[in-house]
Amino acid sequence: MLRARMTGSPPSAVVTGASRGIGRAVALRFARAGYLVWALARSAADLESLHGEEPERVRPLVVDGADEQALRAACKTILQEGVPSVLVNNAGIAVSATLAKTAMEDFDRTMAVNLRAPFVLCQELVPGMEARRSGRVINISSTAGLRGFRYTAAYSASKHALVGLTRSLALELATTGVTVNAVCPGWVDTDMVARAAERINQTTGRSVEQARQVLERMHPIGRFVRPEEVAEVCFFLASEGAGAITGATYVIDGGELA
């Protein structure tokens, strides 16, 4: 565990998109390991459900990742109680459409949530980590941040950019005790998979279950990645033992890109 520098205080982690899927699994993994977790998401109801699982460890903050000023205000709230040990930039949205049918509003929101929000959170929270000479930044990218996929130009561009941000910040912070790494999952069994299966159902006539099977077969291991498996990698990257790992991309895709 990355130790807090304040005597008697537990280490803290900030997790965005914490109300469901990967973010929820990450928030619970850190909370159950003794971290105080600042859980950021848009849905108050889902955050309340998360808080109910770990009421002593989870502090929910309702915030829209596309709202820069709301993000900066949330960071001020967090910093009032100390500099976090870990920042997990997980919140993300995906738009599936051809180039011609991708609305600029969708493009702009995708970039705002998937790229600008991590940048803003790093601007606000990393200086304190630098001053303390200890911290971990973990950006949840995607296999779409390492290769192209049809009909996801905006999403893939945002995730490629997030990997670029990760690598640049890793070098900028290399001598400060702060590491910056990216985790790149493949198809994870979350709401995003459910929506993809529904789109396949609507466009091909396959059943939702058949669509899920098509997506599962993209992984050589024959199944989706579990959110908890992504959370375990994040927890490792936050550990003291990962102090020499920075600027790396950890692919969790069941062999899809092998």
pLDDT digits (tens, 9 = 90+) for 37-76: 999 999 999 999 999 999 999 999 999 999 999 999 999 9
The one-letter amino acid code at 209 reads: E
Domain residue limits at 220: 187-224
Give the phi and the psi of residue 54 in degrees, each rounded to 5.
-140, 70
Q: What value does the mean pLDDT take over residues 180-185?
A: 98
At 8, the pLDDT band (50, 70, 90 cuts) reads low
State the pLDDT at residue 118: 98
Note whether residue 4 is domain-resident.
no
Number of domains in the chain: 2
Given a cut of 70, is residue 243 above it in pLDDT? yes
CATH code of residue 144: 3.40.50.720
User: What is the CB-side half-sphere exposure of residue 218 using CA atoms within 13 A?
Assistant: 16
Alpha carbons 21 and 190: distance in angstroms, whole number: 5
Note whether residue 2 is domain-resident.
no
State the pLDDT at residue 212: 83
- Per residue in 79-98, pLDDT (tens digit) is 999 999 999 999 999 988 99
Say yes or no: 53 and 102 in one domain.
yes
Say yes or no: 178 and 238 in one domain.
yes
Q: What value does the mean pLDDT take over residues 125-146?
A: 98
Given a cut of 60, is residue 5 above it in pLDDT? no
Mean pLDDT over each residue of the chain, to the nearest integer: 93
Say yes or no: 115 and 149 in one domain.
yes
- Per residue in 209-236, pLDDT (tens digit) is 887 888 888 788 989 999 999 999 999 9
Inter-residue contact 158 to 114 (CB < 8 Å): yes
Say yes or no: 49 and 166 in one domain.
yes
State the pLDDT at residue 1: 61
Q: Which residues are part of the catalytic machinery? A: 155
Q: Which residue has the higher pLDDT, 6 or 231?
A: 231
Say yes or no: 173 and 75 in one domain.
yes
Say yes or no: 150 and 197 in one domain.
no
Note whether residue 5 is domain-resident.
no
Q: Which residue has the higher pLDDT, 213 or 249?
A: 249
Considering the entire predicted model, what is its pTM? 0.92
Note whether residue 257 is domain-resident.
no
Query: What percentage of residues in the chain have a pLDDT greater than 70?
Result: 97
Note whether residue 3 is domain-resident.
no
Say yes or no: 73 and 173 in one domain.
yes
Say yes or no: 198 and 232 in one domain.
no
Query: What percentage of residues in the chain have a pLDDT greater than 90?
Result: 82
State the pLDDT at residue 200: 73
State the pLDDT at residue 227: 96
State the pLDDT at residue 21: 95
Say yes or no: 172 and 45 in one domain.
yes
Radius of gyration, alpha carbons of the chain: 18
22 CA to centre of own chain? 7
Measured at the CA of 142, the angle between CA 255 and CA 148, to 5 degrees, comes to 85
Say yes or no: 182 and 192 in one domain.
no
Note whether residue 24 is domain-resident.
yes
Given a cut of 80, is residue 201 above it in pLDDT? no
Note whether residue 86 is domain-resident.
yes
Say yes or no: 220 and 144 in one domain.
no
Say yes or no: 179 and 239 in one domain.
yes
Note whether residue 102 is domain-resident.
yes
